Structure 1
Amino acid sequence: MNKLLTGAAAIALSTSAAVAGGIERGGNAYSVLYEQGNYAQLGFSTVNPNITGDYPTSLGGGDTDNMAKSYSHLSFAYKNDLSEALSLGFFINQPYGANADYTQGVYQGLAADWKSDQVAAVLRYKVNQNFSVFGGLRYVRSSADIAIPDALIRSGVNDALEADNVRAAVAAGEAQLAQAQAAEAGLQSGNPVIEAATIAALGLPAGTPVAAALAGVQAGIAAATDPAGDLARGQAAIAAVDTGPVGTFDYTAAGDNDGRVSYILGAAYEIPDIALRVSLTYESGYTHEFDTKEFSTGLGIAEGTSGTTEVEMPQSITLDFQSGVAKDTLVFGSIKWAEWSKWEVRTPAYAAATGSAVTGLDNDVYTYRLGVGRKFSDEFSGFARVTYEDAKGGVASRLAPTDGSLAFGIGGTYTMDNIKITGGIEYVKVGDAEDGSGVEFSGSSALGLGLSVGYTF
Structure 2
Amino acid sequence: MKKALLQACAVCVGATGAYAGGLDRSGQGVNILFEEGNVVQLRLGYADPDVSGSQNGVPSGNVANSFFSPGLAYKHSFNDRLDFAVIYDEPFGADVSYPSAYPLSQNPLAIAGGRNNDVLRAEADVDAITALLRYKFDGGFSAIGGIRGQRADASVAVPAAAGYSFDPGAEVDFGYVVGVAWERPEIAARVSLVYNSKITHNFSGNETFNLAPPPVPVPLVSVPSETEVETPQSVNLDFQTGVAPKTLVFGSIRWVDWPQTVLAPTNYVAITGSNLVDYEEDTFTYTLGVGYQFSEAFSGAVSVGYEPSTDALVSNLGPTDGFWSLGLGGTYSFEQAQISGGIRYTDIGDATTTTGGQFSGNSAWSVGLQLTYALN
Structures share a fold, TM > 0.5?
yes
Cα deviation, residue 362, structure 1? 1.0
For residues 453 and 266 of structure 1, what CA distance do their matches in structure 2 show? 26
Give the number of equivalent residue pairs.
355
Is 1:269 matched up with 2:182?
Answer: yes
1:33 maps to which residue? Answer: 33
The aligned amino acid for 2:66 is S
Alignment of 1:205-284 (within 5 A): 249-284=162-197
1:429 equivalent to 2:343? Answer no
State the shift of 1:9 in Å: 3.2
Provide the rounded CA distance (Å) in 1 between the counterparts of 2:371 and 2:361: 34
AA in 2 matched with 1:111: R
Amino acid at match of 1:375: Q
Which residue identity does 1:52 align to in structure 2?
S
Are the equivalent residues in 2 in contact too, given 1:51–1:441 (CA < 8 A)? yes
Deviations 1:166-213 (A, max 9, x none): xxxxxxxxxxxxxxxxxxxxxxxxxxxxxxxxxxxxxxxxxxxxxxxx
Structure number having the greater helix percentage: 1
Equivalence map 1:376-391=2 (5 Å): 376-391=294-309
In structure 1, what is the Cα distance between the partners aligned to 2:169 and 2:30?
30
Gaps of 5+ in 2: 106-118, 213-217
Is 1:439 paired with 2:357? yes
Q: What secondary structure is seen at the aligned counterpart in 2 of 1:344?
A: coil
Do the aligned partners of 1:10 and 1:32 also contact (CA within 8 Å) in 2?
no
Q: Output one character per residue of 1:26-62: Cα deviation in whole Å (capped at 9) or x when no partner.
A: 144311111111011000011100000023xxx2x13
1:411 aligns with 2:324: no
Q: Find the partner of 1:65 among 56, 61, 66.
A: 61
Contact 1:69 1:100 in 2 (8 A): yes
SS at match of 1:140: strand
Quote the residue 1:344 is aligned against: 262
Q: Which residue of 1 aligns with 2:151?
A: 141
In the other structure, the counterpart of 2:112 is none
Percent identity of paired positions between Structure 1 and Structure 2: 39
Alignment correspondent of 2:252 = 334
Quick one: distance in 1 between partners of 2:181 and 2:93?
29
For 1:364-375, what aligned pairs fall within 5 Å after superposition? 364-375=282-293
CA RMSD of superposed structures (Å): 1.6
Q: Greater CA radius of gyration, 1 or 2? A: 1
TM-score normalised to structure 2 length: 0.91
- Would you identify which runs of 4 or more consecutive aligned residues in structure 1 move more than 4 Å? 299-302
State the alpha-carbon separation in 2 of the partners of residues 64 and 22 from structure 1. 17
**Partner of 1:132: helix, strand, or coil?**
strand
Distance 1:385 1:27 in 2: 15
Deviations along 1:377-403, one digit per CA (max 9) or x if unpaired, are 000000000111000102121011111
Between Structure 1 and Structure 2, the one with more strand by share is: 2
Q: Does 1:10 align with 2:10?
A: yes
Distance 1:296 1:452 in 2: 44
Instruction: Quote the residue 2:238 is aligned against.
Output: 320
Q: CA deviation at 1:302?
A: 6.1
Query: C-alpha displacement at 1:347, in angstroms?
Result: 0.6
Q: What is the alpha-carbon distance in structure 2 between the residues aligned to residue 124 and residue 334 of structure 1?
A: 20
After superposition, give the CA deviation of every residue in 1:335-354 in whole Å (9 maximum; x if it has no partner): 11110012111011222333
Matches of residues 49-60 of structure 1 in structure 2 within 5 Å?
49-55=49-55, 59=56
> Where do 1:163-182 residues align within 5 Å?
none
**TM-superposed deviation, 1:360:** 1.3
The CA deviation at 1:356 is 1.7
